[in-house]
Amino acid sequence: MKLLNINYQKYKLDNGLEVILHQNKNLPAIAVNVWYKVGSAQETKGKTGIAHLFEHMMFQGSENVEKELHFKYVQESGGSLNASTSIDRTNYYEKLPSNYLELALWLESDRMGFFLPALNQAKLDNQKDVVFNERLERYDNQPYGLAWELLMTNLYDKNHPYSWPTIGFANDIKNYNLDDVVNFFKKHYSPNNASLVVAGNFEVEKTKSLIEKYFAYIESGEELNHIQVVNKKLSEKKVITHEDNVHLERLYLSWSTGIAYGEDEAALDILSDLLTGSKNSRLYKTLVFRKEIAQDISAFQFSGKYAGNFTIVATAKPGHTLDEIKSEIFKEINNIKANGISSKELHRSKIGIKSSFVFSLQNLDSIADHLNSYNFYLNEPNSFSYDLNRYDKVTTEEINNVSEKYLSKLFVELRIIPKRSKT
């Protein structure tokens, strides 16, 4: 599709910073998006969550931007901003009226190059409190909020970098010290470990010289080796039962699969859609619509640079058991393995995926983030068409194959059940 062929230029500064420029003059706006190639996978045991702590610390000011002013300058200019941390990377992004491009480049470069001189204990203590509260609000005090952590710590071997939660374990959050922050910054927040996307309404040559002006003299850091990851198979089926403040029981089934953009990922994504993506999907239709034994059901392939998993989540309706649900899920999986899927089902999924690609082009910040993501995983920012083609090429046989290949393996089963009353 011509629409998905996104214009861009990519080059590297002498200090190793990758730059990707994409012109798009629909609105008088620009998006600036920086990826640092560090996520929770680069953490060490005892210091989990520190990659995410940075997502907070990087807004605490740098040598020329005092605490709180980063937010203030962007919002004063009518911009919006945020950051996020995943298992593989941390991103920082802002969207501003196009005449504020230079401000955004100044702010991003100041924290890339001049973060350490402004760091102090008070800022760290404050953000440790904030992150601790974030953990309480988003995980500990949420119904089923600890499920993902329980699944990942059991699915992956205890030394696997995807075995701990991105937010970090509560005890680790309390124990970060200033040295940890300094060392983590020096190691991971160098220009040669980052890529910068500027997307939107700008003049190319002027923008290149502004990028040169603000980023070029930031010193490179050490070259980082890829982390070594051993993907061990589960040696036995694991069943975990966890009591929570909930009324309804919920079942999680999780299988190890493959990496992001790996050979089977597109087929697994489509499989998840065939199982739970719509009213007519196999599991939704049977468990939620016809038999009404589940309140909701979802399936997804979640993968990163080093590993991935396929997970199915279903909540039992009152009066129905997780065993009933589990048995129906496996009945359907076995049915797909034995009898395959229809070409109509496959067609339905593909049409939805195609529309979603076009819909995703509405947001400048989403385009900017995609360019960085494709560049990170595929080394080619303009991969929208390539990505869509991965799905278009999937055949009914491949759906059979991946069902057999992955969903026959040992898996982790997590059951979240209501707390028993203390009588």
Partner 1 sequence: MKYDRSIKPSPSSEISFRMTSQSKFSLNNELDIYFVKKNDLPIIRLNVIINAGSKFDPINKKGTSNLLTMCIDEGAGKYNALELSEQFDLLGAHFSLNCNNDTIQISLQTLKENFREALDLIGKILTEPHLAEKDFEREKSKIQTQLKQLSDDPDYLANTAFDSILFGESHPYSFPVLGLNDNIANINNDEINDYYSKFILPNNSFIIAVGDITKEELKKNLNGGISDWEKGNADFHVGKVSSPDKKTVYIVNKKDAVQTEIRVGHHSTMKKSKDYYSKHLLNTILGGQFTSRINLNLREKHGYTYGAGSSFNYYKDDAYFGVSTSVGIENTTNTLNEIFYELNNIRNGVTEEELSFAKSSIIRKFPLNFETFRQVASHIIGKVIYDLPDDYYDKYVENINAVTIDEVNKAAAKNIFPDSAMTVLVGDKDKLLKQLKDDNFGEIKVVG
Positions in 232-261 near partner 1 (CB under 8 A): 245-248
3 binds partner 1 (CB under 8 A): yes
From 23-31, 37-45, 327-335, 370-378, give the range in contact with partner 1 by CB under 8 A.
23-31
Q: Does 79 bind partner 1 (CB under 8 A)?
A: yes
Minimum CB separation from partner 1 for residue 159, in Å?
30
What is the dihedral sign for C-alpha 142, 146, 149, 155?
A: negative
- For partner 1, the closer CB: 10 or 67: 67
Write the binding mask 279 to 308 for partner 1: x where contact by CB under 8 A, - elsewhere: xx----x---x--x--x-------------
Site for partner 1 in 206-225 (CB under 8 A): 213, 217
Pick the stretch among 278-286, 298-306, 370-378, 394-402 that binds partner 1 (CB under 8 A): 278-286
- Residues 126-165, mask of contacts with partner 1 (x by CB under 8 A): xxxxxxxxx-xxx-xxxx----------------------
User: Rule CB under 8 A: which of 360-379 touch partner 1?
Assistant: 361-364
In whole angstroms, the minimum distance from the beta carbon of 21 to partner 1 comes to: 17
Stretch of 6-14, 76-84, 158-166, 175-183 contacting partner 1, by CB under 8 A: 76-84
SS3 of the chain: the string is CHHHCCCCEEEECCCCCEEEEEECCCCCEEEEEEEECCCHHHCCCCCCCHHHHHHHHCCCCECCECCCHHHHHHHHCCCEEEEEECCCCEEEEEEEEHHHHHHHHHHHHHHHHCCHHHCCHHHHHHHHHHHHHHHHHHHHCCCCCCHHHHHHHHHCCCCCCCCCCCCCCHHHHHHCCHHHHHHHHHHHCCHHHEEEEEEECCCHHHHHHHHHHHHCCCCCCCCCCCCCCCCCCCCCCEEEEEEECCCCCEEEEEEECCCCCCCCHHHHHHHHHHHHCCCCCHHHHHHHHHCCCEEEEEEEEEECCCCEEEEEEEEECCCCCHHHHHHHHHHHHHHHHHHCCCHHHHHHHHHHHHHHHHHHHHCHHHHHHHHHHHHHHHCCCCCHHHHHHHHHCCCHHHHHHHHHHHHCCCCEEEEEEECCCCC
Site string for partner 1, 330-359 (x = CB under 8 A): -----------------xx--xx-xxx-xx
If the CB atoms of residues 63 and 157 are measured against partner 1, the closer one turns out to be 63
Nearer to partner 1 among residue 25 and residue 331 (C-beta): 25
Among 4, 20, 101, 414, binds partner 1 (CB under 8 A): 101
Other beta carbons within 10 Å of 125: 12
Residue 116 vs 136, nearer CB to partner 1: 136
Taking CB under 8 A as the criterion, the residue among 100, 156, 215, 310 binding partner 1 is 100
- Shortest gap between Cβ of 64 and partner 1 (angstroms)? 5
Smallest gap from residue 237 Cβ to partner 1 (A): 28
Give the binding-site size for partner 1 (rule: CB under 8 A): 77
Strand-strand pairing, 194-200 and 18-23 = parallel
Please state the closest distance from residue 46 (CB atom) to partner 1, in A: 22
Binding flag, residue 120, partner 1 (CB under 8 A) = no
Q: Please report, as residue ranges, which positions from 33 to 72 form the binding site for partner 1 (by CB under 8 A).
A: 63-64, 67-68, 71-72
